Amino acid sequence: MTKRSVMNLDFPLYHTLSGFMRSYIPELDGVRAIAVLAVMIFHLGIFPIGWMGVPLFFVLSGYLITSILIDARSSPLKQYLSSFFWRRTVRIFPLYYAYLVVNLLLSLIAGLSLSGYAYFVFYLGNYRIGQLAPNVPGGVIGHLWSVAVEEQFYIVWPWLIYFTKRPVYLAVAAIFAAPIFRESLYNYTGNPYMTIVALPSCIDMLGAGALVAMVKDRRIFLGMSLIGLSIIGYCLIKVPFTDFSDTEKWVPQAHIIFTGLGLLAAPAISCASYAKILSNFVLRFIGKISYGLYMWHLIIFAIVHRMHLPFLYEVVISFAASFFVAVVSWTYFEKFFLSFKDRWDYKSDRESAPRVRTR
């Protein structure tokens, strides 16, 4: 069998989910939508395991970022790094710091403690959360820990991809190393929260997404899905389902579960029925504004909660206000900065093609 025939697969999305075909993949917006909605519902106290949307974001980020970096490795190092960091900066920084400013002003008005606020300014908030959880001062900023994890990943991963001859081994190593790190850290510190929020604790999810981006062979592609199913099945049998609110018990196991989901993601999305659902207009729209929804929803929820409304009214108003603010944020704020993202683009010997929207 020739290499060409191995790559000629029946999966509808194989050519975009393996290697890197720089085109817009609407199904991934659907995945973003599911992840952010799960987190929002969790924060309203409706869906106790909705926090699993955050690990799903990590899997997706690992896939998208690795896809971009693998494609750009033929560029000179300076261009490779400057383009990547510039595009990440214009996507993440403006809204992140705008949120910090708004939260700072509201915290000052409310007389809340701002101890450790600088951690979040420098994308180290995940370690502050790990130290102080579940009681974190500084207003409504606890959810920013996941953004800090991704930014730390963005600093390290481009260098490893560029200078490693076979980066697929990095992804495999990450998947195996993270559970060992979490177990060792918990045994050493007794702090369950740090095992949740530290970057090394999350690299199996990021690595699972990266592995999906680098797979080149159908047999590996299918094998990953079987391994993913095995991991999920093992966790579902081992971990009791009696108390979903016990975060200290559930989150470390959920990390492993989502590693399995990451390995299962590509074949699942490639199924035509799932692809049709994930690419429908509503989910694509929610996915497009998902960053704004994630950033703004918690502070809006907190404001609405202080109105002491009946629960159903609180849910409806919280969701409606969050979507309104996210749409305004996307239309009049985020898109302005995104218009500058191509100022330093990759110079590759490969034929140019449409770019993936990475968030």
Q: In the chain, where are the structural domains located?
A: 3-338
Q: Of the candidates 102, 149, 90, 159, which has an alpha carbon nearest to the alpha carbon of residue 123?
A: 149
Range from 123-132, 158-167, 242-251 that averages highest in pLDDT = 158-167
The single-letter code of the amino acid at 151 is E
* Span 28-65, pLDDT tens digits: 888 899 999 999 999 998 877 777 788 889 988 998 99
Distance CA 118, CA 295 (A): 18
Distance CA 74, CA 70 (A): 8
Cβ(170)–Cβ(160) under 8 Å?
yes
Q: Of the candidates 85, 88, 53, which has an alpha carbon nearest to the alpha carbon of residue 293?
A: 53
Q: Most distant CA pair in the chain: distance in Å? A: 69
Given this model, what pLDDT does residue 16 score?
43
Average pLDDT over residues 74-95: 95
pLDDT at 245 over 60: no
pLDDT at 337 over 90: yes
Distance CA 63, CA 83 (A): 18
The band of 21, judged by pLDDT with boundaries at 50, 70 and 90, is very low
Distance CA 302, CA 140 (A): 8
Share of the chain above pLDDT 70, in %: 70
Average pLDDT over residues 246-260: 62
The band of 285, judged by pLDDT with boundaries at 50, 70 and 90, is very high
Instruction: Report pTM.
Output: 0.83
Q: Of the candidates 271, 179, 158, which has an alpha carbon nearest to the alpha carbon of residue 221?
A: 271
Given this model, what pLDDT does residue 187 score?
83
Between helix 145-163 and helix 77-110 the angle, nearest 10°, is 170
Residue carrying structure tokens 């720089």: 22
Q: Dihedral sign, CA of 217, 218, 224, 230? A: negative
pLDDT at 20 over 50: no
Cβ(261)–Cβ(59) under 8 Å?
yes
CA-derived radius of gyration, the chain: 20
As to burial, measured by CB atoms within 10 angstroms (0-12 exposed, 13-18 middle, 19+ buried), residue 180 is exposed
Cβ neighbours around 354 below 10 Å, total:
9
Quote the Cα angle for 16-58-170, to 5°: 75
Cβ neighbours around 352 below 10 Å, total:
9
Residue 96 CB contacts under 8 Å (≥ 6 apart), including other chains: 144, 147, 295
Chain mean pLDDT for the chain: 80
Q: Of the candidates 334, 307, 327, 296, which has an alpha carbon nearest to the alpha carbon of residue 140?
A: 296
> How many helices, marked H, and strands, marked E, lie in the chain?
18, 0
The single-letter code of the amino acid at 112 is L
Hey, what are 322's tokens?
Answer: 């969050």
* Span 111-132, pLDDT tens digits: 888 888 899 999 999 998 888 7
The band of 9, judged by pLDDT with boundaries at 50, 70 and 90, is very low
pLDDT at 224 over 80: no
Given this model, what pLDDT does residue 41 score?
94
pLDDT at 150 over 90: yes
Cβ(247)–Cβ(197) under 8 Å?
no
As to burial, measured by CB atoms within 10 angstroms (0-12 exposed, 13-18 middle, 19+ buried), residue 46 is exposed
